[in-house]
Amino acid sequence: MKKIMQERYSCREFNSKKIDNSVIEEILDLTRLSPSSCGLEPWKFMVVSKENDLKELGQICNDQAQVSGCSHAIIVIARNDLKGGCDFIKAQVDRKPRTPERLQKALDHFAARFDPQTNEELMHYASLQCYIASANMVNIAQSLGVKSCIVAGFDPQKLDKFVSLGEHFKPVLIIALGYSDEIAPSKTRQSLDKIVIYK
């Protein structure tokens, strides 16, 4: 882990080597183990790898070349269908073995918590979980020798249209993945004494 944290960096120049689908699958399979609030996993991951699609995605990302030039881009998508009547929340809650009474209690708990919230508030809540998964994804990729760049600079309307999953789904980040011949830059970070407070 120490080496992964020290050596991962945001790659902005990928070479033309394609990542094997099995490696992409492994990255996603490990990413899905990420923690999320109440274990709800309010996310989806869209894999983009066709040349034309990556080109279009690069344009949507303000012409960022690391997106159009990567091997695979993973669009991390937040979902806000967390209210009581939604199938997703019912399915998530129903995964653990529970008596019918305890199941209803859990559903009531989530309904009391989420139903009063606006769709925007729920989307923000889901986005936070997506950021955690994304942080894990880039480190998992690094552990498998894959370089990455987290990208939040995009046109939201155009990306919504590109993703087209409907009103309950919102793309929040793009993770560009690939290989590179670049030499990793050295890290610029604040020192510990500037950011840590012992109370």
Q: Which residues bind ligand FMN (CB under 6 A)?
A: 9-10, 12, 64, 149-153, 187
Distance CA 162, CA 159 (A): 5
Residues 6+ apart with CB under 8 A from 199: none
Tokens read off for 178: 């690939």
Residue 34 has φ and ψ, to the nearest 5°, of -60, 150
Instruction: Count other Cβ atoms within 10 Å, centred on residue 128.
Output: 13
- In whole angstroms, the minimum distance from the beta carbon of 38 to ligand FMN comes to 23
Burial class, 113, CB count within 10 angstroms (exposed 0-12 / middle 13-18 / buried 19+): middle
Strands 169-178 and 43-48: unpaired
What's the closest the beta carbon of residue 152 comes to ligand FMN, in angstroms?
Answer: 3
* Least distance (Å) between residue 195 CB and ligand FMN: 14
Rounded to the nearest whole angstrom, what is the least distance from the CB of residue 189 to ligand FMN in the complex? 8
C-beta closer to ligand FMN: residue 33 or 152: 152
Closest CA to 30 of 9, 51, 4: 4
Residue among 92 and 148 whose Cβ is closer to ligand FMN:
148
Least gap, CB of 131 to ligand FMN (angstroms) = 7
For ligand FMN, the closer of residues 25 and 155 by Cβ is 155
Q: Which residue has its beta carbon closest to ligand FMN?
A: 153
Q: Which of 89, 175 has the CB closer to ligand FMN?
A: 175
Rounded CA gap, 17 and 20, in Å?
9
Based on CB atoms, which residue is closest to ligand FMN, 12 or 79? 12
